[in-house]
Amino acid sequence: MSSQSNQAALPLQGKVAIVTGASRGIGAGLALELARRGAKVALVYTSPKSGNLVEEVASNIKALGNGSDSTVIQADLRHVDTPSKIVGATREAFGDKIDILVNNAGVLTAKAVTETTAEDYAAIFDVNVRAPLLLTGAVAPHLRAPGRIINMSSIGARKCFANFSLYAGSKAAIEGITRSLAQELGEAGHTVNAVAPGPVESDMLSDVPKEIVEDQLKQTAVERRVGTVDDVSRIVAWLCGEDAKWVSGQTISASGGFLML
């Protein structure tokens, strides 16, 4: 196979990626998609209970047999020293430089504002906002140009759903952070974007109120269905590649037209 055809088949060959929340759902799917395109992937997960799941993702990557690779990193994103641990473990596994960071890990809760506590706020914002910001800061000194950073947002940042003020606020914050980081890191040749999925067929779908899912089925312009992990992971993988080099500071709605930006 020529180098040109190999590049077409494996556009991320030689790239090192970090994916948080990689044990299940969208995170597992997009980690596998990056590996399909040739990347070496650091699979970050939080709960020890997810160990078997993330090892299955690693096994699926190994089975690709295309030169991609993975390393598994158990790290609690609620702790402020976790980002440096993740970066250190990734560099130990794959060398000094990092090419791609996907801030995918997130937590979701639905709660009336009258019942919301400071502890609830911290539980959401520590993982959904603080962790991506600090991890980006830890990765940036080791990011090899042209680096790619993708933050996972949600249609909830723009669509209005009752009892989702904490989650919606955290995702709106990540979109603002994305735009600011795109400006800050762009001079070094890096791009920073966000992807905002709608409801997706995954284990988190059970956490989404049925009326929201039903609303999406009625309003989605394409095929009147819930999204799939592949629908989202392929968008993220595209943003990680050379073809997306002129896209930065953007939020892409991955919802089949349910949310049009």
Residues tagged active-site:
153-154, 167, 171
Q: Strand 191-197's sheet: what is its strand order?
A: 69-74, 40-45, 16-20, 98-103, 143-152, 191-197, 251-254
The answer to whether 225 touches 199, Cβ cutoff 8 Å, is no
